[in-house]
Amino acid sequence: MDRRILKSKEAIVEAFIGLMAEKNFEQVTINEIANRANVSRGTVYLHYTDKFDLLDQCIKFHLVQLIDSFLPCGVTGIFPSKASLLHTFQYLGQHAFFYTAVLTNKGVPMFRDRLKAALLRGLDKQIDMDGINRDMNKEMLVQFLASAIGGMIEWWITDPMPYSEADMVEQLWALMERNQMVPQPLNQ
Amino acid sequence: MDRRILKSKEAIVEAFIGLMAEKNFEQVTINEIANRANVSRGTVYLHYTDKFDLLDQCIKFHLVQLIDSFLPCGVTGIFPSKASLLHTFQYLGQHAFFYTAVLTNKGVPMFRDRLKAALLRGLDKQIDMDGINRDMNKEMLVQFLASAIGGMIEWWITDPMPYSEADMVEQLWALMERNQMVPQPLNQ
DNA sequence: TTGGATTCGTCCATTATTAAACAAAAGACG
DNA sequence: CGTCTTTTGTTTAATAATGGACGAATCCAA
């Protein structure tokens, strides 16, 4: 992609997130965004139809990255591991500014739902319905687990991250193994 | 000026100074500058004929700012004061990265001379040749004082700035008054 | 010295960004 | 309510930035 587009989008998104951390989404104006991004107002409209589209693209982009941090190769190839879960929390930590903004901003209540939806899609592919889960209703189980993980993420991000990434991985990985959301340990 | 020009120049200059702080001027390439600035190589040539011109414009720009920080209104209007001298040292402190780079870089030995030349021009306008200076040779006096001030600045910047801006102002202002480089105190 | 790689400086057509204007909608405020 | 201001979304022509190409110059290792 053209270097100019990347730079403009980067500046716009950064300005937008910064403003969202300061005030409600509704009272963020395109003018402010353009000014803070040091970009012409027309440039914003060149890439985004309006601020709802801007918010939408931001959320989509980050949720794709979030899933990718855990499932880097998608369906094919490598299975998720403790290491990839650590990558996920490192990614979350690095982008805590964005996630805090969208999770706490009064004007963006739908983000919680979209995070859960992304988790649902990811879980639906990963979960092993044999063994301990043989007699469970998959839909209910997936709902249960997606809520659990989403809640843990939201709690870790929204509170000032009281535990380290490694601590979170240790606890969460055990819970995921227990529910056959990841490859089972061999000595079992 | 067009916003794009400002942004490009800013990025180029910042990249350039950063590289000058890391290696000698001679071994800084236009390619490196463009890459670090995240700008097309052609854009560099659009604003600067070569890296010597880039260095030249950087130095000119900063020396103008340095003089302006002390004589904000040029010839007309307000006289320099302790406050404006404080502005000068605050400016120097804020741009210490640049001044350190050009003062210590082995490839830019001429910067010292240009700093002195700028001080000479500034002093020539300001100095009062009456009173204590009546029987002095102006050219020699100006040379003497420009070297003195230039040396103080270079020492303050190059050493890790052991004294505060206010300390420097206090000492230097006394020396400037003593030599009638600034308006004399009224009770004298 | 020779050859390969990198940088240089310049050119080009294409594309993104710019500042400006504009009417319409939304807010702010008395 | 009406007035004044700001924001919105769209359009325009002008211009800066882009990536790519090119031959020449420079550097560096064999």
Per-residue pLDDT, A107: 87
B3, B38, B39 ranked by CB distance to A38: nearest: B3
The verdict on residue B184 lying in a domain is no
Q: Give B141's contacts (C-beta < 8 A, 6+ positions apart).
A: B127, B133, B179
Cα distance from A7 to chain B (closest Cα, Å)?
9
Instruction: Give yes or no for a contact between A40 and A116, defined as CB atoms under 8 angstroms apart.
Output: no
Same-domain check for residues A41 and A69: no
To 5 degrees, how large is the angle CA A21–CA A156–CA A117? Answer: 80
Q: Which nucleotide comes closest to B4 if you measure CA to C1'? A: D16
Per-residue pLDDT, A72: 72
Instruction: Give yes or no for a contact between B101 and B21, defined as CB atoms under 8 angstroms apart.
Output: yes
Q: Separation of CA A2 and C1' C18 in angstroms?
A: 17
Whether A3 has its CB under 8 Å from any CB of chain B: the answer is yes
Question: Nearest CA to A88 among A64, A115, A62, A70?
Answer: A70
The verdict on residue B186 lying in a domain is no
In this complex, the answer to whether residue B2 has its CB under 7 A from any atom of chain C, a nucleic strand, is yes
Per-residue pLDDT, B161: 76
For A71-137, where are the alpha helices, taking DSSP H only? 82-94, 96-104, 111-126
pLDDT tens per residue, range B59-82: 999 999 998 898 776 554 567 788
Question: Nearest CA to B79 among B185, B164, B150, B188?
Answer: B185
Q: What is the DSSP letter of B26?
A: G
In this complex, the answer to whether residue A29 has its CB under 7 A from any atom of chain C, a nucleic strand, is no
Per-residue pLDDT, A57: 97
Per-residue pLDDT, A187: 64
The verdict on residue A135 lying in a domain is yes
Domain with residue B173: its CATH number is 1.10.357.10
Per the listing, tokens 């879960």 go with A85
Same-domain check for residues A122 and A155: yes
Please state, in angstroms and as integers, the Cα–Cα distance from residue B6 to each residue in A38, B43, B47, following that order: 10, 12, 11
pLDDT tens per residue, range B110-120: 999 999 999 99
Same-domain check for residues B72 and B26: no
Chain B residues within an 8 Å CB radius of A38: 3, 7
Same-domain check for residues B80 and B149: yes
Whether B17 has its CB under 8 Å from any CB of chain A: the answer is no
Q: Separation of CA B57 and C1' D14 in angstroms?
A: 27
Hits for CB < 7 Å against strand C across A residues 34-93: 38-43, 46-47
Domain with residue A9: its CATH number is 1.10.10.60
The verdict on residue A137 lying in a domain is yes
B3, B7, B38 ranked by CB distance to A3: nearest: B38
Domain containing B34 equals: 1-48
Same-domain check for residues B98 and B161: yes
Which two three-digit tokens encode residue B85?
């001298």
Q: Encode chain A (188 residues) as per-residue pLDDT tens digits.
A: 899 999 999 999 999 999 999 999 999 999 999 999 999 999 999 999 999 999 999 999 999 999 889 887 655 455 678 899 999 999 999 999 999 999 999 888 899 999 999 999 988 888 888 888 888 888 988 989 999 999 999 999 998 878 999 999 999 988 888 888 877 776 65
Q: Is the pLDDT confidence value at B95 over 90?
A: yes
Q: Is the pLDDT confidence value at B55 over 90?
A: yes
The verdict on residue A55 lying in a domain is no
Per-residue pLDDT, B73: 65
Same-domain check for residues B131 and B170: yes
In this complex, the answer to whether residue B41 has its CB under 7 A from any atom of chain D, a nucleic strand, is yes
Instruction: Give yes or no for a contact between B167 and B187, defined as CB atoms under 8 angstroms apart.
Output: no
Q: Domain count of chain A?
A: 2
How many whole angstroms separate alpha carbon A92 and alpha carbon A88?
Answer: 6
Q: Is the pLDDT confidence value at B87 over 90?
A: yes
Q: Which nucleotide comes closest to B6 if you measure CA to C1'? A: D16
* Torsion-angle region of B180 (φ positive above 0: left; ψ -120 to 50: alpha; else: beta): left
Same-domain check for residues A77 and A163: yes
Whether B39 has its CB under 8 Å from any CB of chain A: the answer is yes
Chain B residues within an 8 Å CB radius of A7: 38
Instruction: Give yes or no for a contact between A127 and A142, defined as CB atoms under 8 angstroms apart.
Output: yes
Same-domain check for residues B163 and B96: yes
The verdict on residue A186 lying in a domain is no
Whether B65 has its CB under 8 Å from any CB of chain A: the answer is no
The verdict on residue A57 lying in a domain is no
Q: Separation of CA B42 and C1' D18 in angstroms?
A: 8
Q: How many CA atoms lie within 13 A of B63 on its CB side?
A: 21
The verdict on residue B87 lying in a domain is yes
Helix B111-126 to helix B96-104 angle, to the nearest 10 degrees? 120
Per-residue pLDDT, B168: 93
Q: Separation of CA A29 and C1' D9 in angstroms?
A: 13
Same-domain check for residues B36 and B125: no
Nearest-Cα residue of chain A relative to residue B35: A3
| Burial state string for A77-109 with b = 16 or more CB within 10 A and e = fewer than 16 | eeebeeebbbbbbebbeebbebbbbbbebeebe
Q: How high does pLDDT run on average in chain B?
A: 90
In this complex, the answer to whether residue A2 has its CB under 7 A from any atom of chain C, a nucleic strand, is yes
Instruction: Give yes or no for a contact between B92 and B153, defined as CB atoms under 8 angstroms apart.
Output: yes
Instruction: Give yes or no for a contact between A24 and A107, defined as CB atoms under 8 angstroms apart.
Output: yes
Same-domain check for residues B41 and B100: no
Per-residue pLDDT, B77: 52
How many whole angstroms separate alpha carbon A144 and alpha carbon B154?
Answer: 67
Same-domain check for residues A27 and A79: no
Same-domain check for residues A17 and A74: no
